[in-house]
Amino acid sequence: MISAFISFFFIIQLICAQDIYFPDEKLQPSRCNTSIKVSIKCPPNMTLEPDGDGNSCECIAGYLYYAPLDSCFKPYMKGPCMSGHYLTLPYNGTVAECRENPCDDGSVIFNGTCNALLKPGLPCSEGQALVINEENFVIECQQIKTVVYQIIVAPIKGCMPGSRKIARGQCRRIL
């Protein structure tokens, strides 16, 4: 009886053994096949994006990737930097770094003086405010306008300067 039980156990194991298959193999119907979902939870200030190898976490728009902490932070803010410094993307650079901050946290240097971000008026023209361009992280004056939220946002092709992928050398050129 025990040998019959052991034989039955091994037969069941053989039937349920193939849980993984390769794309060139045909999946044989089986009672034991189960689907496995792998869920990736991204850290704060990151979002899940598809890439060539599946999915990976990337900084949300307007944030810079800081490799030593594997996290994303607002530019021109203290973030991960020591006191008196802020996170910035060097001119024509691709990797964020901490630099000395000549202004208070939340203010940036523009035309030689410290100015608050998102505040209408000087040093910008009427109807403009000082903002950080989310594409190149350059400080500039932009027209103040109503924000329109999109329901569907198409992914940006390539890697943005200051992104996690560019810091890890995982970017591919757009053809």
Q: How many residues does the chain have?
A: 175
Q: Please identify which residue in the block is written with the tokens 């530019």.
A: 75
Return d(Cα 141, Cα 120) in angstroms, integer.
Answer: 9
Question: Which comes out higher in pLDDT, residue 3 or 150?
Answer: 150
From start to end of 12-165, where are the E strands?
46-51, 54-59, 64-66, 71-73, 85-88, 97-100, 107-110, 113-116, 128-132, 139-143
| Rounded to 5°, angle at Cα 101 from 88 and 113 | 105
CB atoms within 10 A of CB 75: 22
Q: Which of 3-12, 36-45, 93-102 has the lowest mean pLDDT?
A: 3-12
Give this prediction's pTM: 0.58
pLDDT tens digits for range 62-88: 899 998 888 999 998 888 999 888 998
- Give residue 98's pLDDT: 92
Return d(Cα 12, Cα 37) in angstroms, integer.
Answer: 24
DSSP H helices in 22-72: none
**Average per-residue pLDDT for the chain:** 74
DSSP H helices in the chain: 2-15, 164-167
Return d(Cα 169, Cα 172) in angstroms, integer.
Answer: 9
- Indicate the burial class of 73 (C-beta count within 10 angstroms; 0-12, 13-18, 19 or more): buried
Q: How far apart are the first and last CA of the chain?
A: 68
